[in-house]
């Protein structure tokens, strides 16, 4: 591969990535603000709160990633674990 | 007359003909058979078509209903697109096995009694094992054997359950069951094994990723979804399914997050998605069962699409792991776009099929005021976006530049991916197309502004979580222990331990028996031995003079007389 860094694909350029982050941030803010205009029906009270889905989505992902990470310390093994005479294979 | 032909027959005939046929004839058979099957699927009338005597029972190999036809339709469609995807790349015997496997799934869809269901069920188990073996590697061979053992075990449990139900009720009809006897429980367990329910979920992620890139497309579609159909037919509203489904949903997410193998990520997310459906069957309302059926239909499409996209990457690069690939969007734009469409659909993004079907299940939970179920399903929807929706395309097509510049998909693989991508979007944009074929009338509007906003917030913020937490999700070249550790390692150790103990005990017994025998031999030689170079014959083997014998007899008789008198 003899492409140098600055003539890489336009999607991989740092400037593009920076722009994508800005657009992403703007979309996130707009999505929360939109709830001021659009009524979100809450079936159980809390889920109708302002920005509930945003916070819930973020926090549940955080919890799942951290849980998986912690579980990984216990469960992760080398890729050839099952070939090391630990099992029939 | 035509409506009395079981549609599965055409797939079986095709499977038999694929081997001997060559060249264009083979291609024609592969592409035409599923379409002919599809036409016949739509000729099957509602209700039992006919029944045949079998032992003391009447069996009904062909029974139609809305939900059965819906599943058979997607199975036939899947066989067509799967065939299109693989007919130029896969070996003939893999295609034949895949078509026989699809025939089993279509057969289960129309089975009118438990015996026919069981026959097609085992048919699927056999030929799906062959598809796993077509992976051709030593891992595929071993994983295939484990896969076969698991499914044959599930089949035995199902058979025992069917016999129990037949004895208890005297009927082998397929109808909703009250889960109140050993027989019904055994049947439920047998079906749940095929649905990859805990604690045996690991068979799926163990076997599917070892198959060939084309084989895993077939494997992703049939086994778990026939289990869902069977649950809808036999156990709607069974409460235990709600808990099992929620466990599967979370299990799939957590394990997919830990995984490095591309197709194993997708395999875990099958368990996750099937968990949504199992949970919906457990809720059991009309809305929930509609949701389960619709979600199964949509799921087969986007999951196969994801496996196709991963399959093209593996076919072109030879790499299976996230740590080996990355940055492939440069030279594989079509595969990347189709993969992203599949990833958005599985995440339930608005305008994709996942949104219009999965939200029905959440709606059913809300309607029944199941707050925990609803909240966990919402968290899981966010988690799906995390583990499959972004993780899969990000690590495969973006991430870093791996330096790989593979060609994009061959034309037939590309065509198959485009067909399913279009269907993902079509069912997302115009859900009525699917809703009108659901088992119950649909009074559900997925696109209320509030619902769209709720899910957009949920998904976009889980996307934010993904990119912020990327350092925590760095791929490692590891595997994760799963429940299959119990039978691959623990059971193996127990077995080898048992053999070692048995060998030790056996050795000790042999040694003890040997020394007893040696001692007996010494005694026998002493008293009975007749010859020996340096010894006299044993005491009982000598020749005694008559005088001595007469003396002993006289003494014995005297002793006898004396004892007699006293």
Residue A25 and residue A43 in one domain: no
Residues of B with CB below 8 A from A77's CB? 478-481
Judge whether B184 and B161 are in contact, CB under 8 Å.
Answer: yes
Residue A59 and residue A26 in one domain: no
Q: Which two tokens stand for residue B194?
A: 């095929």
pLDDT tens for each residue of B423-435: 999 999 999 999 9
Report pLDDT for A7: 52
Residues of B with CB below 8 A from A62's CB? 465, 469
The domain total for chain A is 2
Asked if the peptide bond before residue A60 counts as cis, ω within 30 degrees of 0, the response is no
* DSSP secondary structure code for residue B208 in this structure: G
B348: nearest Cα among B334, B365, B362:
B362
The residue ranges of chain B whose pLDDT is under 50 are none
Length of chain A as a residue count = 89
Residue A45 and residue A34 in one domain: no
Report pLDDT for B349: 92
For A40, nearest residue in chain B (alpha carbons):
B450
Report pLDDT for A2: 42
**CA distances (Å), origin B495, targets A84, A89, B147, B320, B480:** 17, 14, 19, 32, 23
From the list A51, A77, A89, which residue is nearest B479 (CB)? Answer: A77
Domain hosting residue A75, numbered range: 39-89
For the ranges A45-49, A69-73, B120-124, B253-257, the maximum mean pLDDT occurs at: B120-124
A3: pLDDT confidence band, cut at 50, 70 and 90?
Answer: very low
Residue A49 and residue A89 in one domain: yes
Residue A57 and residue A80 in one domain: yes
From the list A51, A69, A89, which residue is nearest B472 (CB)? Answer: A69
Q: How far apart are CA A73 and CA B54, in angstroms?
A: 55
Query: Cα angle vertex B187, ends B186, B190, to 5°?
Result: 85
Residue A23 and residue A63 in one domain: no
pLDDT tens for each residue of A21-43: 999 999 998 988 888 888 888 88
Report pLDDT for A85: 59
Report pLDDT for B533: 56
Q: How far apart are CA B355 and CA B235, in angstroms?
A: 25
Cross-chain residue pair B386–A35, CB shorter than 8 Å: no
How crowded is residue B3: how many other Cβ atoms within 10 Å of its Cβ?
12
Residue A23 and residue A57 in one domain: no
Across chain A, mean pLDDT equals 81
B63-64 and B478-480 strand pairing? unpaired
Report pLDDT for A89: 47
Domain boundaries, chain B: 1-199, 236-474, 520-566
Report pLDDT for A32: 86
ipTM, interface predicted TM-score of the complex: 0.85
Residue A33 and residue A43 in one domain: no
Length of chain B as a residue count = 566
From the list A11, A41, A67, which residue is nearest B254 (CB)? Answer: A67
Residue A86 and residue A59 in one domain: yes
Residue A34 and residue A45 in one domain: no
**CA distances (Å), origin B461, targets A66, B190, B383, B472:** 16, 39, 11, 17
Residue A9 and residue A29 in one domain: yes
Report pLDDT for B312: 94
From the list B142, B254, B453, which residue is nearest A64 (CB)? Answer: B254
Residues of A with CB below 8 A from B456's CB? 31
Residues of B with CB below 8 A from A12's CB? 327, 401
* DSSP secondary structure code for residue B53 in this structure: E
Residue A56 and residue A25 in one domain: no
For B376, nearest residue in chain A (alpha carbons):
A60
Q: Which two tokens stand for residue B394?
A: 């990000």
């Amino acid at each position: 591969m003899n492409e140098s860094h600055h003539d890489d694909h336009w999607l991989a350029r740092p400037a593009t990535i920076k722009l994508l982050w800005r657009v992403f941030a703007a979309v996130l803010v707009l999505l929360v603000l939109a709830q001021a205009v659009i009524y979100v029906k809450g079936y159980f009270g809390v889920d109708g709160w302002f920005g509930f889905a945003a916070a819930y989505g973020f926090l549940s992902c955080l919890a799942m990633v951290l849980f998986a990470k912690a579980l990984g310390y216990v469960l992760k093994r080398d890729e050839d674990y099952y070939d090391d005479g630990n099992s029939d294979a | 007359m035509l409506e009395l032909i079981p549609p599965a027959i055409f797939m079986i005939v095709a499977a038999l003909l694929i081997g001997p046929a060559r060249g264009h004839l083979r291609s024609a058979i592969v592409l035409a058979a599923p379409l002919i099957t599809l036409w016949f699927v739509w000729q099957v009338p509602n209700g039992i078509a006919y029944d045949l005597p079998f032992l003391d029972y009447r069996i009904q190999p062909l029974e139609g209903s809305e939900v059965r036809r819906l599943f058979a339709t997607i199975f036939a469609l899947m066989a067509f697109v799967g065939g299109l995807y693989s007919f130029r790349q896969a070996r003939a015997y893999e295609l034949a096995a895949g078509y026989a496997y699809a025939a089993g799934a279509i057969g289960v869809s129309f089975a009118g009694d438990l015996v026919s269901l069981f026959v097609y069920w085992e048919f699927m188990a056999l030929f799906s094992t062959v598809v796993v073996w077509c992976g051709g590697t030593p891992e595929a061979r071993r994983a295939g054997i484990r896969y076969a053992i698991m499914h044959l075990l599930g089949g035995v449990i199902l058979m025992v359950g069917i016999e129990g139900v037949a004895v208890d009720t005297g009927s082998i009809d397929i109808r909703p069951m009250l889960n109140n006897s050993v027989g019904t429980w055994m049947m439920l367990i047998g079906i749940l094994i095929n649905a990859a329910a805990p604690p045996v979920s690991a068979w799926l992620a163990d076997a599917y990723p070892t198959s060939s890139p084309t084989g895993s497309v077939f494997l992703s579609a049939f086994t778990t979804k026939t289990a869902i159909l069977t649950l809808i037919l036999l156990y709607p509203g069974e409460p235990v399914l709600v808990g099992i489904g929620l466990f599967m949903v979370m299990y799939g997410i957590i394990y997919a997050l830990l995984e490095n193998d591309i197709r194993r990520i997708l395999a875990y997310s099958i368990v996750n998605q099937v968990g949504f459906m199992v949970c919906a069957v457990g809720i059991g309302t009309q809305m929930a069962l509609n949701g389960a059926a619709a979600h199964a239909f949509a799921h087969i499409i986007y999951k196969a699409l994801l496996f196709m996209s991963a399959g093209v990457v593996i076919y072109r690069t030879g790499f299976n792991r996230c740590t080996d690939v990355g940055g492939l969007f440069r030279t594989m734009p079509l595969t990347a776009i189709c993969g992203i469409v599949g990833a958005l659909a599985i995440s339930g993004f608005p305008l994709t099929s996942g949104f219009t079907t999965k939200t029905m299940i959440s709606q059913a939970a809300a309607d029944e005021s199941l707050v925990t179920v609803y909240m966990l399903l919402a968290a899981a929807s966010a988690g799906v976006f995390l583990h499959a929706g972004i993780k899969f395309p990000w690590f495969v097509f973006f991430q870093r530049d791996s330096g790989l510049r593979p060609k994009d998909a061959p034309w037939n693989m590309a065509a198959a991916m485009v067909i399913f991508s279009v269907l993902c979007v079509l069912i997302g944009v115009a859900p009525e197309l699917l809703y009108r074929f659901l088992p119950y009338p649909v009074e559900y509007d997925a696109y209320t502004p509030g619902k769209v906003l709720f899910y957009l917030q949920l998904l976009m913020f889980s996307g934010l979580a993904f990119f912020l937490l990327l350092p925590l999700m760095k791929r490692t070249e590891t595997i994760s222990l799963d429940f299959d550790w119990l039978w691959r390692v623990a059971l193996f150790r127990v077995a080898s331990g048992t053999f070692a103990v048995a060998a030790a005990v056996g050795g000790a017994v042999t040694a003890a028996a040997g020394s007893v025998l040696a001692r007996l031999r010494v005694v026998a030689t002493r008293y009975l031995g007749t010859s020996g170079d340096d010894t006299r014959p044993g005491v009982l083997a000598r020749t005694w003079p008559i005088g001595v014998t007469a003396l002993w007899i006289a003494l014995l008789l005297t002793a006898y007389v004396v004892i007699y008198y006293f």
